[in-house]
Structure 1
Amino acid sequence: MKKSLQVTNYRYPLGYGTSLATCRHSYFFPKNPRYYYIFLEALEGITCLLTWNIITGGERMRALWRGSISFGLVNVPVKMYAATERKSLSFRQIHKTCGTPIRYEKVCPFCNRKVEDDEIARGYEYEKGKFVVIEEKDLESIPDETTRTIDIVDFVDLAEIDPVYFDRSYFLGPEETGQKAYLLLFEALKKTGKIAIAKVMIRSKQHLACVRPYGENRLVMETMFYPDEVRDAGEIPISPGVKLHENEIKMAVQLIDSLSADFRPEKYTDEYRKAMLDIIRAKVEGEEIKVPPGREEKVVDLMEALKASLEMVEKEKRKGPGVKRKKAATS
């Protein structure tokens, strides 16, 4: 199946005196990338709202990287996939007068002119205002072994790693020729309770990473921050004279115990995103946006806040599941 960009819906903006229209068209990606960008430029000039789907020929996940896991003399050929996807909404800057998206150009302030892509180089600022240019041929000096290998250097307990070190998650899938070695590594990690600490090159950066078993028979890799990339929490100011009473600690522990539950990720939703989508839908359909009255924050005594919180939790437990908790007062 050919890959295509399928426009599933377009609507004329409000104020054009037309009813909302729905149409369907398919545009196949051309082989020449130049025509693809011409198509995108044309879309930017259309004064309507577009909704589109990318049709990828049935492929559910696309491999971002191919290489191998290396430990000892064992090599496990794998493919890397993004394990997460952002669901946050993104907005474009548009011209208020006509609704056209703003376009930015690459300009050299010294030459005072627009710069084409083939005129742009990659530079590193080693001193203020001084740059050294890094070309592709310079990167060829990096050995291939470090660019396509997840090189395991240690096996450790997961509990030893503070979550602040974790960055992004990637699923690792086996290549056809590495199914047995892949499952062998999975079972060995699961049986020992260890995770692998490794180094891997992704997008011109060597990452610290860990490889661990995930689910029934999968491996997941978490990229990690190096120690010098984690800021010192000791720089956060905390008043040394603050003292806690035993009753306050006891009630705080009771509150935590009463709110404790099994982690079920499906019960947590992005309410802000849902509210924003509702606003967007209402604006598209010409509805009036109603602004709720602001909530007054009350500063109360810490002990009173703890007691009130415990009472609120007990009431909600008596009412049963599905009751939303009220926002706690500032203390």
Structure 2
Amino acid sequence: MKPIWKGAISFGLVNIPVQLLSAEERTELNFNMIDQRDHARIKYQRINAETGKEVPWENIVKMYEFEDGSYVVVTDEDFEKADPKASKTIEIEQFIEAKELNPMYLEKPYYVAPVKGGEKPYSLLRDAMKESGKVAIGRVTIRTKQSMGAILPVGDALVLNLLRYSDEIRTTETLNLPEGEKITDKEMDLAISLIDGLTASWNPEEFQDEYTSALMKRIEAKAKLKGKDLPEEPEEEEVTPSKVVDIMDLLKKSIETKSRKRSDPADKAAPGDKSKTSKSSGKSDEKAAPRKRKSS
């Protein structure tokens, strides 16, 4: 795995030499664009607006244009020398309690790995953060963009998760959110019973991209037909919003359906079959007792 950034974490007077490596692995299907008339591939060219000729990558540079139409050519050296320290250092500006980190701000994760000479201070920072339950907040400049970032311990590694700035998060003021809806005790008890019935220990490996798998199966089926149309499939029943009058009935049916699935032997995974891992661990095996709502 090739590092995308090398520098140091600045922690008080301590500098920890590190490198950043992507923690993501994209699995989307790749598609090419073609002309539907003759199925010829579509190509995109970099054209000089004055000459109309294609421009090779090595001749392309960036420029910044001012409001009056004048501009300045910006080189790689300009990006590096604008703030040399920022481009080579993750400056920890503060520590916060882990529970304070709002998931709305999380954007993109990177593994932080020590380079030679940084193993001891790296271990110290990681273990101290685990012990204290703290998350580090700082700034990092990757390529040409400075981002706010949170450094947190995950297992034996430190992870840098880039954060969105506060002005990049939209508020809920424009949303038509419900207020003052009267919820009865019975409705609340049934809803909580359904939630308890679906509660299990989270295992991320149980969740796969089912849509991409289904799309790939359809693509393979079309390939076998060699240009012929696939047979028509029955349309899925349209999902309609639940009306107020039938919420109780829907909750009861949902709980009954969940109970039947749990007791159906055919629904249980065969030994060694990871594709049907049971999710009925923990609280889901126990029938939820009616709950009393606290009076205000």
Deviation at 1:242, TM superposition (A): 4.0
Secondary structure (helix, strand or coil) at the match of 1:308 reads helix
Residues 209-236 of structure 1: CA deviation (Å, up to 9, x unaligned):
1111111x21111000111111112221
Greater relative CO, 1 or 2 (CA 8 Å, sep 6+): 2
Aligned to 2:92, which of 152, 155, 166?
A: 152
- Separation of aligned partners in 1, 2:70 and 2:176: 37
CA contact (8 A) 1:255 1:310 kept: yes
Determine the structure 1 residue equivalent to 2:293: none
1:293 paired with 2:234, answer: yes
Residues 231-270 of structure 1 aligned to structure 2 (within 5 Å): 231-240=170-179, 242-270=181-209
Counterpart residue type for residue 76 of structure 1:
I
Instruction: Tell me if the contact between 2:152 and 2:159 (Cα under 8 Å) persists in the aligned partners.
Output: yes
The DSSP-based 3-state class of the residue aligned with 1:310 is: helix
Letter in 2 for 1:164: M
Query: What amino acid is the match of 1:237?
Result: N
Find the partner of 1:178 among 96, 118, 132: 118
State the 1:76 CA deviation.
Answer: 0.8
In the TM superposition, what is the alpha-carbon distance from 1:124 to its structure 2 partner?
A: 4.7
* 2:261 alignment counterpart: 316
Which runs of 5 or more residues in structure 2 are unaligned?
Answer: 270-275, 278-296
Match of 1:282 among 203, 221, 235: 221
Q: Which residue pairs with 1:162 in the alignment? A: 102
- Match of residue 22 from structure 1: none
**Which one has the bigger strand percentage?**
1
Q: Which letter maps to 1:316?
A: K
| 4+ runs deviating over 6 angstroms | none
Q: Which runs of 5+ in 1 are unaligned?
A: 1-60, 325-331
User: Helix, strand or coil for the counterpart of 2:42?
Assistant: coil
AA aligned to 2:106 is F
Match of 1:113 among 45, 52, 62: 52
Q: CA RMSD in A?
A: 2.5
Contact kept, 8 Å, 1:121 with 1:133, in 2: the verdict is no
Point out the more displaced range, 190-199 or 117-126. Answer: 117-126
TM-aligned CA distance change 1:319 to 1:182, over 3 Å? same
Determine helix, strand or coil for the equivalent of 1:147: helix
Q: Which moved more, 1:73-82 or 1:281-290?
A: 281-290
Which stretch shifts more, 229-238 or 203-212? Answer: 229-238
Q: Using a 3 Å threshold, how does the CA distance of structure 1 residues 126 and 316 change in structure 2: closer, same or farther?
A: farther
TM-score (structure 2 length as normaliser): 0.79
For the residue of structure 2 that corresponds to 1:200, the secondary structure is strand
